[in-house]
Amino acid sequence: MHVLSGIQPTGRFHWGNYFGAIRQYIRLQDEAEDAFYFIANLHALTTVRNPAELRQLTYDAAVDLLALGLNPDKATLFIQSDVPEVSELCWLLMTGTPMGLLERCHAYKDKKARGLAADAGLFAYPVLQAADILAYDADTVPVGEDQVQHIEVCRDLAASFNHHFGPTFVLPKAKLLDTSARVPGTDGEKMSKSYNNTLEVFEDPKVLRKKIMRIVTDSRPVEEPKEPETDHLFQLYSLFADDAQREAMAAKYRRGGFGYAEVKKELADMAEQYFAEARRRRKEIEGRPEYVRQVLGDGAAKARRKAKEVLRRAQQACGVKL
């Protein structure tokens, strides 16, 4: 299994990023023959316009991933822009990409439907994403359901290129991430930086506790029984609880006679304990910037070797390389 995935540095990682994707990426590094994980700073340019902010977020993403358990001895971590071969491969794919295919992609359609301006970067996002995947001969791409369409686009573009120019690209398959653990935000909606409802993984514990205590709940009386499965506070609690703790809390909900503040305090305690080791590692890694740069440099060198091989194969196939 050859795994490839990227994550945008558009803000600090929150619980939704971790439980929805990062935790599973880290597990896959033990199963894969090759695992390439990149920080997608070129994709982030469609939303982050401040250069200093983008540089800092990119660096923070690398430190955070290492602190959360990404092991450079098992997986290749690098910055997207450090592999220019991907951008060149993107152009080769772009020349054969139908406009209609990109017009049907949901990220572009959704933005247009909301009356928001969409730039060419967002429009061509799926082609760059396809180049990201194809450049490393990845056969497995872990994604959430909202990204499956982009993997299908990647397969379409690769299959079309192979049809016109002969066997060149490996056709990847999407590996659906386990999204059974829904991650709501502090307002009950999906946790997202766009909604300003996030709980950050490496937030100061005191600040995080205050945010947890302000989580929006309903106004039912203390004595009234409550249904845990439809309660977003219970869903957040379930991220950290083991089976016995989860069942005990669910029983408490159904009995009634408790206040939401009790659950919030337990949630804050469990979250602080759960991420304590990662916070300790982050503090250590943060003090070793030369180590972080070495990891990213080594990762980029390995990624470039593979991307050069695939790019040359594509260039020769389509005739731009003599």
Annotated catalytic residues are 111, 190, 193
DSSP 8-state assignment for residue 137: T
Q: What SS3 class is residue 246?
A: helix
Distance between CA atoms of residues 77 and 319, nearest Å: 32
Neighbour count for residue 317 (Cβ, 10 Å): 18
Tokens of 42: 């070129």
In contact, 311 and 87? CB cutoff 8 Å: no
Distance between CA atoms of residues 140 and 172, nearest Å: 6
For 217-288, where are the alpha helices, taking DSSP H only? Answer: 232-240, 243-255, 260-274, 276-286
**Residue matched to tokens 């302000």:** 214
**Cross-strand partners of 176:** 143
